[in-house]
Structure 1
């Protein structure tokens, strides 16, 4: 196995809702691949890592919007650090639905994580870096591994900051297609339930409705009702982890194919192949509306549900 010494330029990260509350040392362990933990702790001690321009300690916890600066460092980078085949790389490039000099929007397939780590060899962002040869590609936001659909990726730091600011200000509207259990009675409703993140004994993160949680709102519109399920269009008006999934559960309509929330709720429709959630539309100020049609597996399920409806 060959490895080479690599010089890394100043690196910037911005904390989103998925990393809120995480310790800075744990945050850096997953993002500075090839850098020994001892080196990361030394960087922190020496003030080479700054959060919002201030020195921090290893146990410092992060907040949404924190700007993290890591000074140039030298580290070991192994040759197989990006195990992405040409076939996978080209497949991901074929899923780009919009691109300009600063922004790329990709229709992510279900089953691929947005980034590597936690037992995942590589994700969408690593695949695109390998496919394009671009060193600077950064996720503007994230969607779950099992969720398909539109993901925004910045090609410039200025675009990353601008669009993450718009996300924080709730000026970017994201619309998801979801197939949920049962017949939703209201055609249009606002689900307003605070959400609280917590950890299971094994360290897995979950979310539940709680008065101690953060304000969370999701607009639901019924697109089509079936005998045992409903196709809804959901727009989260706040950006919380698993928001649509937990809000659906809170009104008695968990998502079909969800193995974390509401899987014990009765469902007598066709078996799904995966979590039935798809990021179908993005409305970004200053850009054209971007859309990704319902993927084939969800289209097939809808066709089966329609057929059941007619029986």
Structure 2
């Protein structure tokens, strides 16, 4: 009879029992894992536990009749990681994006046109780069930005902190602010739905196959209430307004600059909500108009949680 005993360390603390089993017994079907929990083949501190049990530091888990992934498979996975190499010059470029770090997390000021993860057309993203920089497969990012969007993201050095900050994000306790430059300033000044300086957009977003749809009421179970505050800023008061005007090129007319605070954090929330109002972010090829810009003028410049506050305000901005 196959037996394995595990003592919960800080990396596993807070993880659900079923998640731990799925991660460490990948060769077993989910039905077998849940069946083992119900049958008592998995015990925590000598007692049967529910699959939703959150592991506590020094818990003793006894697992019977489940086969753990073989060492051969583990070595193959390690070999695959070892073969993944990024040029040293590239690693140095990414290291310079880090504006803060401690033993649990680090904050990256992501540049535009940098992917969060490897994928179509990208051999690697922030996740793969920082796994190599820190020589750890436990590196994960708790929030993400679109490929074109620049700004602040939270890198987690261990799974315990990832679970902690992910819960704070779900509870809307991680606060984020953005800058955006949009077309159609005249619309803001003429439309009675907008205050000239401040307004709030509150509606529902539903993720479709290629885009996010906006509606005043939920249209399906996947529809999520979305709230965003917008404050119009005086573009001419920016320290580097001339530089930004040069970046905007032919798109430097009839534009507005917004300071944006996300109350909820949904996929493409800012882009979709603004576009729905006819206020297209300059350079937004998915929700905007064909303005010829090769830059996307959306940046997450501020991020805070607990007693931490991070800002790139003094470096505004693209």
What TM-score do you get using the length of structure 1 for normalisation?
A: 0.68
Structure 2: runs of 5 or more not aligned = 1-8, 38-48, 53-66, 190-195, 236-251
- Residues 67-96 of structure 1 deviation map (CA, whole Å, 9 limit, x = unaligned): xxxx95343333675342111111111110
Q: Structure 1 residues 81, 235: CA separation in 2 closer, same or farther (over 3 Å shift)?
A: farther
Contact kept, 8 Å, 2:26 with 2:69, in 1: the verdict is: no
Q: Which residue of 2 aligns with 1:214?
A: 224
1:1-311 superposed matches below 5 A: 42-47=28-33, 54=51, 73-74=69-70, 75=73, 76-77=76-77, 78=80, 81-183=83-185, 184-185=188-189, 186-199=196-209, 205-210=210-215, 211=217, 212=219, 213-225=223-235, 227-263=253-289, 271-291=292-312, 293-295=315-317, 298=318
Greater fraction helix: 2
Distance 1:175 1:72 in 2: 44
- Residues 120-165 of structure 1 deviation map (CA, whole Å, 9 limit, x = unaligned): 3211011111122233211111111111110101112222122112
Contact kept, 8 Å, 1:106 with 1:152, in 2: the verdict is: yes
Larger radius of gyration: 2
Matched residue count: 240
Q: Structure 1 residues 181, 81: CA separation in 2 closer, same or farther (over 3 Å shift)?
A: farther
Task: Tell me how far 1:290 sits from its aligned partner.
Answer: 3.3
Structure 1: runs of 5 or more not aligned = 1-9, 15-23, 33-38, 56-70, 200-204, 299-311
Task: Tell me how far 1:241 sits from its aligned partner.
Answer: 0.4
Task: Tell me how far 1:285 sits from its aligned partner.
Answer: 1.8
Partner secondary structure for residue 225 of structure 2: coil
Per mean C-alpha deviation after superposition, the further-off stretch among 227-236 and 103-112 is 227-236
Q: Which residue of 1 aligns with 2:61?
A: none
What TM-score do you get using the length of structure 2 for normalisation?
A: 0.66
Q: Structure 1 residues 241, 41: CA separation in 2 closer, same or farther (over 3 Å shift)?
A: farther
Over the aligned positions, Cα root-mean-square deviation in angstroms equals: 3.2
Partner secondary structure for residue 256 of structure 1: coil
Contact kept, 8 Å, 2:27 with 2:68, in 1: the verdict is: no
Distance 1:290 1:262 in 2: 27
Distance 1:156 1:148 in 2: 24
Contact kept, 8 Å, 1:177 with 1:277, in 2: the verdict is: yes
